[in-house]
Structure formats: C-alpha cells, structure tokens
Amino acid sequence: MAALRVAAVAATKRRRRKLRKLPWLAASVGAFAAGDLRAQSNLEFRYLFYQESGGRTAVSNPWLYLNQDFGLKGGQLSLLLGYDAISGASPTGGYPTADAVTSASGTSSSNTKFPMAAYNDTRKSGTVAYARKFGAHLPSVDISYSVENDYLSRGAGLTDAWTMANGRGTLHFGAAISRDVVTPVITPTIPARVDHDKSSNAAALGFSWIVGERDLLDVSASLTKLSGYLTDPYKIVPIATSSNTAPEIRPDTRSRYAVVFKYGHHFSDTDGALKVGYRYYWDDWSIGANTVDLLYDQRVGTDWIVSPLLRVYTQGHASFFSYQFAEQQTYMSSDYRLSAFYNILGGLTVSYNIRRDLVLSVGATYQFQQGQDRVVPSTAAVPLPLRAPLDDGEGGGAPTTVSSADMTVVTATVGLSWRY
C-alpha cells in the first residue's frame, strides 16, 4: 500500500487520504525502507503544493515528521503531523452534452468542459508509530487519525521485518485496519448529514534481498479489503439523454491486490543509485493498473544529490464506469478516477547538505494525464468542409472527444531534515 501511494497518480483527495494512513507499510518496501528504520533521530519538515490544471484541485500541505531513536533497547518513536488545505473543483461525473451554448457575444460556440463542483476542505492528520528491535525482528505498531469536514479516519497497523540469512534477506509482513466515517456535507442533492461507515483491512507480505554488494531486490504483495460506504457522495452519473442524472452507486465491498517489484543498484564509479520499480494492481471492480518507476540519485560533490524521477502509470476502467448510462443500474459511476487513463510523471529533486546533520531538499514534478475513455461532448455530427480555416479551438471539424481524466498536474516540494 505504500506501493499504492507510489502509484497514486491522480493524487485525489480520497486517494491521498488512503495512502497516508498506513505508515506501517514503510516496512513493507523492505530494503528501500531499511535505511529509514536504522536512522538516528531526525526531525523533518516538508511543504507540498499540488495543483491540477483547469482550476481543479489545489492542495497546500505542510507536514512535520519526528523520529526519536531511544537506542537499541528503547526503540524508535515517530510522529507524523499533517495539514492539507484543499480547494478548487472536481468533475461531478456529468459530461458536456449541450448541443450549443448561449452566451454573451464572444467566440465560444461549444461546451467541451466538464461540469465541476467547487469545494474547500481541510484535513488534519496525525500518526504515531513505535518500532523496537527484538533479535532478528523489528516489529512496529502505529495508530493514525485524520479528520476532514466530511471524513473521519482512525487506523492502526502492525508489522514486522524479520532479518535472516546473515542480514542479507528481510521478510517483512504486516496488517492494518481502519475504521472511517463518511459524513457528506449538505448540497442540493444531499438534504441532511448522515454518517456512513467504511472500513479497510489490509495485509502485506514481502521479501527484500541484498544481491551482491551493490544490488537490492524487493518483492512484495498486498491485499486490501474495503467495505461499507465506498461511493463518492458528490458524484453523479448521466442517465440516458442526460436529461436526468442520478447519484453514483458503487459496490459496498472492494478487494484490492498489488504486487510490487523493486530493484536498486549502486554505481560505484559515479556514486549514483538507480531504483526501478514495477507494480501491478488489480481489484474486483475490474480495474487493472501498471506502474513503472525510475528514480536515479546522483551525488554531486559531497553535499548535493540530484534525483530525477520518471513514472508511467496506466489504468483500466471499472466494470461499472461509463460517461452515460442508458438506464439505472445496480452500480454505476462516471468518476474519472474509475476510468481508463494513463499518466506520465517527470520530476526532479535536489538535496543539499547545509551541514552534516541538516539537509535541504527542493523538488518539483509535472504530470501529464490523458483519459482513454472518451466521449463526444455533444451529438456526433458529420463535419462539412470548411470554406476557410477557423481558429476557434474546435479542431479541424471532426468531433472533439473529451475525458474528465485529461489534465496536467504540477507539484512543488521543499523540505528540511535535521538529524540529531
């Protein structure tokens, strides 16, 4: 599920929530996280700014992480505090079906933008974790809590990293639960505030192996069972001619599976490290997803590390996703997060040792996302030859297809880490 976080390309509010609350999974990434678990005490502050194109979601997210090392017998206690200020708008699930748009005199002649619902929210979260080594075992336990206007989450996790084969291999496994309450805010379609329960039970198993002197390999798998209120209460689906819409309905259970392969190699001649990851995800909503990560850390001089990142993500759609439904169905959603799309992310992080114990890092990413489930915004028509080219953003006359998954995302991160 930490792997899920890696693949969280759309980084939506819900997804962000889900991926944050299971820090125990840090252990499940095995060798790549082992360094963290052996680290001395440190205090870290980060600020993340996230912005989707087209006036969609923007998130301002400062967080503070404290990891206190009490020594071999005392173990390690960590605390993560986060705050998200979320604003912007999110596609409602409807799509542009108007045959024409009446507007004040201007150049706009058609409606190709998806209906949006504006929203503002804040999320406050906290996680406490404790880990202590017992012989070859490094068990850890964590509890987490977060609250938003319409969402309350309480979680707990338990994990162990079992070192074997003279320290060359680590078997890591764990389990986590969360018990959440969804309380949709009142909108024209939600007349009263009602609590809905939602729960998650997860398990993960993996193995890390030190291959030779400069290579690491980690293989892991996870299973998450969700149940309860899994519908997004703010999403709608167009029915038939779009003359009517209805709230989306998702199944009340979901089983999610993922397998993750990670490989790391250190290049001694350049003092650089390449990390390659592949993740395959599937669930019983028929979504399948592939993620490939390439991260390279290059030390420059004694104080700098430059880390370019490339990630490619593809996702198939849920069995009950469509931009329009002929009639009411048992399950139906037009939420683009359940549609087929791909996402390419490029990023760069630069870290600088201000002092031996103080590291400043600055990073940015850019994502390009395109939906593969596309819809013609209004009734498809046969374009007639144009007398003259027309620069009205409508293309060459062919019907323009659109997807609410289409967007770009930029993020900027600045962090300061102090080891003590």
Partner 1 sequence: MNERTLYTTRFALMGGAAVVRFIDDRGQRHAETIARAAENEAFRIERKFSRFREESVVSEIARNAGRAPVAVDDETVALVEAALDLARLTGGRFDPTVGVLRRAWNFRAPRVPDDDELAALLPLVNHGAVSVRDGTVFLEREGMELDLGGVGKEYAVDRAADVLRAHGVTSALLNFAGDVRTIGGRGDGRPWSIGVADPRAPGQCRFAVRLIGGAGVATSGDYERCFVKDGVRYHHLLDATTGRPAQGVMSATVVAASAFLAGRIATAAFLLGPRDGLALIEGMPSVEGCLIDATGAISATEGMGRISNLPGSLYAAYSAL
Q: Contact positions toward partner 1, by CB under 8 A?
A: 92-113, 115-117, 187-189, 236, 238, 241-247, 378-388, 390, 392, 394, 397
Token pair listed for 214: 């400069």
Q: What is the torsion angle, in degrees rounded to the nearest 10, for the CA atoms of residue 390, residue 394, residue 395 and residue 401?
A: -170
Task: Tell the smallest beta-carbon distance from residue 183 to partner 1 (Å).
Answer: 19
Task: Tell the smallest beta-carbon distance from residue 74 to partner 1 (Å).
Answer: 54
Task: Tell the smallest beta-carbon distance from residue 233 to partner 1 (Å).
Answer: 12
Decide whether 77 or 116 has the Cβ nearer to partner 1. 116
Task: Tell the smallest beta-carbon distance from residue 119 to partner 1 (Å).
Answer: 12
Task: Tell the smallest beta-carbon distance from residue 371 to partner 1 (Å).
Answer: 17
- Reduce the DSSP state of residue 327 to 3 states and report it: coil
Decide whether 113 or 419 has the Cβ nearer to partner 1. 113
Task: Tell the smallest beta-carbon distance from residue 135 to partner 1 (Å).
Answer: 58
* Cα 267 to Cα 215: distance, rounded to the nearest angstrom: 9
What number of CA atoms fall less than 13 Å from residue 210's CA on the CB side? 14
Token pair listed for 141: 């336990």
CA distances from 208 to 205, 264, 288, 337 (A): 10, 11, 25, 32
For residue 231, give the nearest of 338, 149, 304 by alpha carbon: 338
- Which residues in 212-285 belong to E strands, given as ranges? 215-228, 236-239, 244-247, 253-267, 272-283
Task: Tell the smallest beta-carbon distance from residue 194 to partner 1 (Å).
Answer: 17
Decide whether 23 or 377 has the Cβ nearer to partner 1. 377
Decide whether 288 or 393 has the Cβ nearer to partner 1. 393
CB 235 within 8 A of CB 255: no
CB 83 within 8 A of CB 62: yes
CB 260 within 8 A of CB 278: yes
Q: Which amino acid is at 60?
A: S
Decide whether 356 or 387 has the Cβ nearer to partner 1. 387
φ, ψ of residue 91 in degrees (nearest 5): -60, 140
Decide whether 401 or 413 has the Cβ nearer to partner 1. 401
* Cα 246 to Cα 128: distance, rounded to the nearest angstrom: 41
DSSP assignments along 20-57, one per residue: HS-GGGGGGGTHHHHHHHH---EEEEEEEEEEESTT--
CB 103 within 8 A of CB 122: no
Task: Tell the smallest beta-carbon distance from residue 366 to partner 1 (Å).
Answer: 23
For residue 363, give the nearest of 420, 417, 292 by alpha carbon: 417
Decide whether 150 or 180 has the Cβ nearer to partner 1. 150
CB 287 within 8 A of CB 315: yes
Task: Tell the smallest beta-carbon distance from residue 185 to partner 1 (Å).
Answer: 13
DSSP assignments along 186-224, one per residue: PBTTB-S---EEEEEEEEEEEEEEEETTTEEEEEEEEEE
Task: Tell the smallest beta-carbon distance from residue 247 to partner 1 (Å).
Answer: 8
Token pair listed for 103: 């507007």
* Cα 372 to Cα 276: distance, rounded to the nearest angstrom: 26
Task: Tell the smallest beta-carbon distance from residue 123 to partner 1 (Å).
Answer: 23
Decide whether 71 or 106 has the Cβ nearer to partner 1. 106
Decide whether 71 or 389 has the Cβ nearer to partner 1. 389
Decide whether 346 or 399 has the Cβ nearer to partner 1. 399
Decide whether 184 or 415 has the Cβ nearer to partner 1. 184
